[in-house]
């Protein structure tokens, strides 16, 4: 009997943290497209913007950020959980040259169907202006 109880405790202690970890994971990234610069930043508010776009059953998040001209985005990161995401990617200079101006950059994160329940998002840990349809807001 004691061995059955010990085995049950072992199973619960291993399975419960795994189940909790699955619940707090961000929706999986299906694809990432760094769209690039749409032009010089005109000095408006540089707060990141995120559009939630649903098309053909897919959930994508279109991000608009401001950074130095001449950069390229790579290495996307999706963190958070099914309610709140933090999106980001690495900006780098492929030529080791950065131009002294600011550019408006766009990128598209397409996520797994679990992203349908996302209610808020940030970009690189910074508050973002959310655009489009966001459930529960």
Q: Which residue has the higher pLDDT, 12 or 56?
A: 56
Contact 48, 126 (CB under 8 A): yes
Pairing, β 49-55 against β 29-40: unpaired
* β-pair type (99-111, 29-40): antiparallel
Query: What are the sequence ranges of the domains in the chain?
Result: 26-132
Q: Residue 76 pLDDT more than 90?
A: yes
35, 108 contact by CB (below 8 A): yes
pTM: 0.77
* pLDDT grade for 87, boundaries at 50, 70 and 90: very high
Of the listed ranges 13-22, 57-66, 77-86, 89-98, the one predicted with least confidence: 13-22
């Amino acid at each position: 009997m004691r061995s059955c109880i010990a085995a049950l405790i072992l199973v619960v202690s291993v399975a419960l943290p795994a189940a909790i970890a699955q619940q707090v994971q961000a929706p999986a990234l299906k694809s990432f497209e760094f769209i690039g610069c749409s032009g010089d930043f005109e000095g408006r508010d540089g707060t990141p913007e995120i559009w939630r776009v649903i098309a053909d059953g897919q959930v994508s998040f279109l991000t608009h950020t401001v950074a130095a001209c001449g950069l390229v985005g790579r290495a996307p990161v999706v963190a958070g959980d099914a309610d709140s995401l933090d999106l980001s990617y690495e900006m780098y200079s492929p030529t080791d040259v950065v131009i002294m101006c600011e550019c408006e950059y766009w990128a598209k994160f397409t996520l797994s169907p679990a992203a349908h329940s996302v209610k808020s998002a940030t970009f690189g840990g910074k508050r973002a202006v959310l655009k489009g349809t966001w459930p529960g807001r």
